[in-house]
């Protein structure tokens, strides 16, 4: 999907763009005159860097959208519960879905590898070409309400993520590995992890923290994370009321943000919100 902007042809990479929000992000960016490439296999990202360097000489926009939920889910059983939007958003659904959703070590690890480590790897592999953007590259990490800090019951874990001035990537890794250990030992509740989509939520908390660290490290770029809304996608088991088209609007707005815009922020759709 590619069109040219007469003044400045912006070049973008979007992960997880084969359907849902990602597909709509690609469509809306292309409609705005952006040349867009999608990444379906992060193992091919190094080859993509070589291609971008040779063909365009830079990258202007990265949208990390690929996602995994971190649970084994009985889709039919979940839909039969007919849980409303407010119950999902509040987290009260956690007590209702115990029989149809289960956190396993394998699913939690897959979730972390996709939502955090995968997004981090894509960003860091593409940094050499993002640095070459003449207008300050935009990095948009797709996050979630589930990653908001107030949802973590454990004060110590929450305070580590809050202390962004002293937080390191190594500490984020340690927190995620502790979560996986607690999954294996079946001690998530006892150790104060959130119980509504626990792996997914913590992966997004980690991604939000990484977004802030990256923004501090590269002040010449515009690096933000965004909750796109409760969208009707496979990842939300088609329970969300928003269309993918509407869900793409906030990420696209950040991807196309003007110079001098915000960086190191978390957006709840169109508005800056608290981490």
Given this model, what pLDDT does residue 75 score? 85
CB 85 within 8 A of CB 162: no
pTM of the entire predicted model: 0.92
pLDDT at residue 42 above 70? no
Average of pLDDT values for 96-121? 95
As beta bridge partners, residue 242 has 231
Domain boundaries, the chain: 11-273
5: pLDDT strictly greater than 60: no
pLDDT band, residue 89 (cuts 50/70/90): confident
Mean pLDDT in residue range 89-101: 87
Instruction: Give CATH superfamily name and number for 11-273.
Output: NAD(P)-binding Rossmann-like Domain (3.40.50.720)
| pLDDT tens by residue, 160-183 | 999 999 999 999 999 999 999 999
Single out the catalytic residue among 116, 200, 210, 230: 200
Burial class (CB in 10 A: 0-12, 13-18, 19+), 193: buried
200 is catalytic: yes
């Amino acid at each position: 999907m590619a069109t040219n902007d007469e003044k400045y042809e912006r070049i973008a990479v979007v992960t997880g763009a084969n359907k849902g929000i990602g597909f709509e992000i690609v469509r809306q960016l292309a409609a705005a005159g952006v040349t867009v490439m999608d990444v379906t296999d992060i193992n091919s990202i190094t080859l993509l860097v070589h291609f971008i360097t040779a063909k365009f000489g830079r990258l202007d926009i990265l949208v990390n959208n690929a996602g995994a939920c971190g649970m084994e889910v009985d889709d039919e059983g979940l839909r039969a519960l007919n849980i409303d939007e407010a119950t999902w958003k509040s987290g009260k659904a956690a007590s209702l879905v115990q029989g149809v959703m289960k956190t396993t070590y394998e699913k939690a690890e897959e979730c972390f590898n996709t939502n955090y480590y995968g997004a981090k790897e894509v960003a860091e592999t593409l940094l050499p070409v993002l640095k070459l953007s003449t207008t300050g590259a935009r990095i948009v990490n797709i996050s979630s309400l589930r990653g908001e800090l107030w949802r973590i019951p454990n004060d110590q874990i929450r305070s580590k993520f809050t202390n962004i001035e002293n937080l390191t990537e190594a500490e984020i890794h340690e927190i995620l590995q502790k979560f996986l250990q607690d999954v294996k030992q079946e001690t998530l509740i006892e150790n104060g992890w959130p119980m509504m989509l626990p792996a997914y939520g913590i992966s997004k908390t980690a991604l939000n923290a990484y977004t802030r660290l990256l923004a501090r490290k590269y002040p010449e770029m515009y690096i933000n994370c965004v909750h796109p809304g409760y969208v009707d996608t496979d990842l939300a088991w088609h329970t969300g009321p928003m269309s993918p088209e509407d869900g793409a609007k906030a990420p696209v707005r950040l991807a196309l943000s003007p110079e001098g815009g915000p960086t190191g922020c978390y957006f709840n759709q169109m508005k800056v919100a608290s981490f």
